[in-house]
């Protein structure tokens, strides 16, 4: 080995040494987990349950920091510009796949500015209606909509929300047109449905479940590929007549681009390890959430495919960019 090659190798090893030591000592202080939504919602619950388990596993404290605003872009942007040292993470959700199609200009690039660590949990949505609606199955609802053009309505938690886009995906699949009535959140949309002000609502599962169990709402089916364990008698939308339909609100952990791979791997190992424990699975299950641990590469692939999928839905539904 000549002198130049040997010198280059030594220099490379010395350059990597600080990163190795840094990763070995990581974490040496608390980690901030940014949630780009207000307290109390699915993202906040998912983050706090994970933080309670992941912090001790890493030997540190994880502080949940709610930074809501602009359809999750405010908090997401904070993390995209944070130091890539593993001490600022994002508990993102499916809105990261929606927003590139919904906004003309984002302050970050979803696929460039983040390193996905692992998917965390997924929650189905559930298509519900007021019991007074004559249709009792999805096929009956389709027949009713076809025979009553321009009369049926659907509520959503707001323009571009998951409850909006999931319903648009279903309507595109069924070649149906309903009148969209956006509300300022899931709560108001559910209240409107309970008051028989709208025809149907593709609600988040946990929010609608108590009303379905009490008989105040009727369900046509859950949106994920498999039935919900907490409501096993409800068919999936796929079983009810739309083969292949699959939608779930997923949540995942990400860090800023440039974070050393050794730290990403350490976070992934600890996160996946905790998500595979019965104790954490039970805590999430009580909230209607299923754990979906993954590799970083699997999360990247999902984020890419979901971004393409929802861009197509936004185009076909003629949803105007904000």
pLDDT at res. 207: 86
Rounded to the nearest 10 degrees, the angle between the axes of helix 278-285 and helix 261-275 is: 70
- Span 23-73, pLDDT tens digits: 679 999 999 999 998 887 788 989 999 999 999 999 999 999 999 888 789
- Span 107-164, pLDDT tens digits: 999 999 999 999 999 999 999 999 999 999 999 999 999 998 889 999 998 888 899 9
pLDDT at res. 198: 97
Whether pLDDT at 203 is above 50:
yes
The H or E element spanning position 122 is strand 114-129
**137 burial via Cβ count (<10 Å: 0-12, 13-18, 19+):** middle
**255 burial via Cβ count (<10 Å: 0-12, 13-18, 19+):** buried
Contacts with 241 (C-beta within 8 Å, 6 or more apart), sequence order: 137, 138, 139, 142
pLDDT at res. 293: 97
pLDDT confidence band for 211 (50 / 70 / 90) = very high
C-beta separation of 131 from 218 below 8 A: yes
This prediction's pTM:
0.83
Classify each residue of 236-246 as buried b or exposed e, where b means 16 or more C-beta atoms within 10 Å of its C-beta.
bbbbbbbeebe
Instruction: Please provide the average confidence, as pLDDT, over all residues in the chain.
Output: 91
Whether pLDDT at 184 is above 90:
no
Whether pLDDT at 17 is above 50:
no
pLDDT at res. 24: 76
Chain centroid offset of residue 192 CA: 24
Contacts with 306 (C-beta within 8 Å, 6 or more apart), sequence order: 94, 97
**Strand ranges (DSSP E) for 131-282?**
153-156, 179-182, 200-204, 218-222, 248-256
């Amino acid at each position: 080995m000549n002198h130049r090659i040997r010198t280059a190798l030594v220099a490379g090893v010395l350059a990597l040494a600080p990163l190795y030591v840094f990763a070995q000592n990581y974490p040496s202080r608390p980690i901030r987990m940014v949630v780009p939504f207000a307290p109390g919602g699915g993202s906040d619950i998912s983050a706090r349950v994970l933080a309670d388990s992941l912090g001790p596993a890493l030997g540190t404290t994880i502080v949940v920091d709610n930074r809501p605003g602009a359809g999750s872009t405010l908090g997401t942007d904070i993390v995209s510009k944070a130091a890539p040292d593993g001490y600022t993470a994002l508990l993102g959700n499916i809105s990261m796949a929606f927003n590139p199609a919904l906004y003309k200009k984002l302050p970050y690039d979803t696929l460039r500015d983040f390193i996905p660590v692992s998917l965390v949990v997924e929650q189905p949505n559930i298509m519900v209606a007021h019991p007074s609606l004559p249709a009792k199955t999805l096929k009956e609802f389709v027949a009713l909509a076809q025979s009553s053009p321009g009369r049926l309505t659907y509520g959503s938690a707001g323009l571009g929300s998951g409850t909006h886009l999931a319903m648009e995906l279903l309507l595109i699949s069924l070649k149906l047109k309903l009148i969209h009535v956006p509300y300022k959140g899931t709560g108001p949309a559910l209240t409107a449905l309970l008051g028989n002000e709208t025809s149907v609502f593709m609600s988040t599962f946990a929010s609608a479940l108590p009303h379905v169990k009490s008989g105040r709402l009727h369900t046509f089916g859950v949106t994920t590929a498999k039935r919900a364990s907490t409501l096993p008698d409800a068919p999936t939308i796929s079983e009810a007549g739309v083969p292949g339909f699959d939608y779930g609100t997923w949540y995942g952990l990400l860090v800023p681009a440039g974070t050393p791979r050794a730290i990403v791997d350490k976070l992934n190992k600890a996160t996946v390890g905790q998500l595979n424990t019965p104790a954490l699975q039970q805590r999430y299950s009580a909230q209607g959430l299923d754990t979906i641990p993954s590799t970083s590469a699997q999360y990247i692939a999902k984020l890419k495919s979901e971004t393409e999928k929802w861009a197509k839905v936004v185009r076909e539904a003629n949803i105007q960019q904000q």
